[in-house]
Chains A and B, each alone.
Chain A
Amino acid sequence: MNVITRGIRNAFRNVIRTLSLVTILGLSIGLSLAMLLAHQAVGAKIDSVKASVGNTVSVSPAGVRGFDGGGNALTETEVAKVKTLAHVTSVTESLSDRLTTTNTNLVSAIDAGSLGQRFAGNSGQSFTPRPDTGGATGGPSSFSTGGGQSNVSFTPPVTVVGSTDPTNLSNNVGGGTFTLKSGKVFASNSTENVALLGSTLATKNNLKVGSTFTAYGQTVTVAGIFDAGNTFSNNQVIMPLVAVQTLSSQAGALTSAILNVDSVENVASVTTAASTTLGSVADVTNDSTRAQASVAPLQNIQTISLYSLIGSVIAGAVIILMTMVMIVRERRREIGVLKAIGASNVKVVGQFMSEAITLTMLSAVIGIVIGAIAGNPITKLLVNNASSGTSGGPTGGPGGGGFVRVQFGGIGRGLANIHAAVGFSIILYGLLAALLIAVVGSAVSAFFIAKVRPAEVMRAE
């Protein structure tokens, strides 16, 4: 038998005390691991949310979101001021407009439905009634407007977006991923009357690459057909910015500018600088700010879990420390005997350290089991409580900044979707924490052991 095995055996000298200690310490280590799991899971979620948001700043005309609100379009002169801001690497400009039955022969691929009727009615100004198009599969709808018209039919308008970055759907239309189905993408600085059509819009109107349609009374050639993966974007027309500005008689006008920033860390400063530069003519927003507000409760959880982690580790260290001090005090006479028969301080301390490590490792096993079982439920409980006030973010109407709102809604909904899994690293952390606790607990008891003089054995007689 040596110092280590003697220490291990000593850990079981008092079974009831050992069981009590191991249970309490196990709970402490379990709580530490649960908090560590929560901290890691929430941290990963925050990182993923921030990563998904990207590093862009949106500039919209003041008071306008898509086709809602009112105000004046931005001008290229105004946007030019923010192109030179520090950390702005590029700017995507766009002008959104609606093609109506008076200036296009395109028929929307989206049926008005009850929502379309409601939006149109609530707008106070109906879209131009259109007779049956014949080719439309959805057919016209009847509705009553707020202005008192009744039993007139309409089809939803087709949105046309003039853009300097036609393939970047997240920046200029209703979101989604641009996939070119046929044809080719026009150059970003093109001035030609060419267009990319959403796939359902093209199908609805029997258009192919090379076909033509009418917009603003002019003939426009279909350069390509794309699939965005969602119904809204697949009903849109993307054209060169200059072409839309010219055709719609809005030379130099913009409804959106997306500033691409060199890093996420600089998004906030660019937002502030752009807002200051443009003043009251523009609303400057970024997803990062919104995401930051959205993940703020998660960051609070992260902070709470970190403090709880530190607290529970300290509690564990105090528990084992006090226990070891108590054991040393109880065994002063035995320590004196060991020293009297030739044991060095190192050997006696080693024996007690072995005992402390045995107790904490047993506790660590229990703690890891507790942490594995309770980690995920505790994380979900914390997150659900915190995110109940942040979920259900705004949802958008058509066009303009709507894509931001849709994406932001996704962030809000995804906040509660956090899973804390116990991995090898967590087990390793648990064992390391236990070892740390044991060493701290032993270090203080070692001090007391060193102070016990071998002559104690004579005094105890």
Chain B
Amino acid sequence: MIEVKNLKKTFASGDTQVHAVNDISFSVADGQFASIIGRSGSGKSTLLSLLGALEKPTSGSISVGDQDITKLHDHALISYRAHKIGFVFQGYNLVPNLTALENVMLPMEFAGVPKKDRLERAKALLSRVGLSDDQQLRKPARLSGGQQQRVAIARALSNKPKLILADEPTGNLDSQTGEMIFELLHELAKTENTTIVTVTHDLSIAGKTDKTFRLNDGKLVKK
């Protein structure tokens, strides 16, 4: 269960204050697939950063399970990101000089998973997202966009997180590949009982999620 209450994030821009996220409250149940839509600059990515503990809010609270992540200190936040959160980015953001397999093993290394377990789980995850043994040993530059996003999804799942945050996961893909990636995320949410929150511009994708939140100028205008 994710519960957001009165969340605010304000940036200083010169003499003015920009309210990127302005008093937002909502909740997402475990295993639900939620989408956040809105125009550029509406605060979607900032909200995702706050949910992923990449930034601290100006005020308000975010509870993931029974933990209020806004009250965690830096060391606990690192552990939270390592164990509870998985990220999928629009530009994949794989480490270019590591193979697909090594990229998936990376978060497990940071989470302290033994090397043998890392390898087994990484192989299993990559097979599950559809990468062959040969493709698993390739570096990102030798994979297509769709394959790279599959690797990114496998990486996000590597530590069995409670929450996967996806920022425009189909934004760089053609519609057919984007559809496949969306289906993959949807399936994983159900089978792994993982909550997924995705930011998207694609209304057809948003329409298929369990919940949709529309942001406008940092405010939640539709649940």
Contacts and interface: CB of A to CB of B under 8 A. Distances in A.
Interface of A: 1-2, 6, 9-10, 13, 333-334, 337-344, 347, 453-455, 457-458, 460-461
Contacts of A2: 109
A453 B105 contact: no
The residue among B82, B89, B98 with the most chain A CB atoms within 10 A of its own CB is B89
B60 interface: no
Contacts of B110: 338, 341-344, 347
The residue among A1, A342, A455 with the most chain B CB atoms within 10 A of its own CB is A342
Given A453-B54, A458-B48, A1 B93 contact: no
B81 A454 contact: yes
A2 to B, nearest CB: 7
Ordered nearest first, which 6 A-B pairs have the shortest CB separation?
Answer: A342-B82, A342-B110, A455-B54, A341-B107, A454-B54, A337-B93
B205 to A, nearest CB: 17
A10 B109 CA distance: 17
Interface string B91-118: 1010111100010011101110000000
14 contacts: A334-B93, A337-B95, A340-B54, A342-B111, A453-B54, A454-B54, A454-B81, A455-B55, A457-B54, A458-B46, A458-B49, A460-B91, A461-B89, A461-B168
B82 A341 contact: yes
A380 to B, nearest CB: 46
Interface string B67-101: 00000000100110111000101110101111000
Given A341-B87, A341-B155, A333 B93 contact: yes
Given A340-B52, A342-B78, A342-B159, A458 B93 contact: no
A6 B106 CA distance: 10
A80 to B, nearest CB: 83
Nearest to B107: A341
B45 interface: yes
Contacts, number: 73
A334 B79 CA distance: 19
Contact of B93 (A13, A342, A455, A457): A457
A13 B49 CA distance: 30
Contacts of B52: 340
A342 B55 contact: no
A150 to B, nearest CB: 97
Contacts of A458: 45-46, 48-49, 54, 89, 167
Given A340-B87, A342-B111, A457-B93, A1 B167 contact: no
A42 B92 CA distance: 60
A249 B79 CA distance: 104
The residue among B55, B91, B93 with the most chain A CB atoms within 10 A of its own CB is B93
Contacts of A453: 54-55
The residue among B52, B54, B105, B107 with the most chain A CB atoms within 10 A of its own CB is B54
A253 B82 CA distance: 97
A350 to B, nearest CB: 12
A344 B109 CA distance: 11
Contact of B97 (A10, A333, A455): A10
The residue among A333, A340, A344 with the most chain B CB atoms within 10 A of its own CB is A340
A176 B94 CA distance: 80
B149 to A, nearest CB: 14
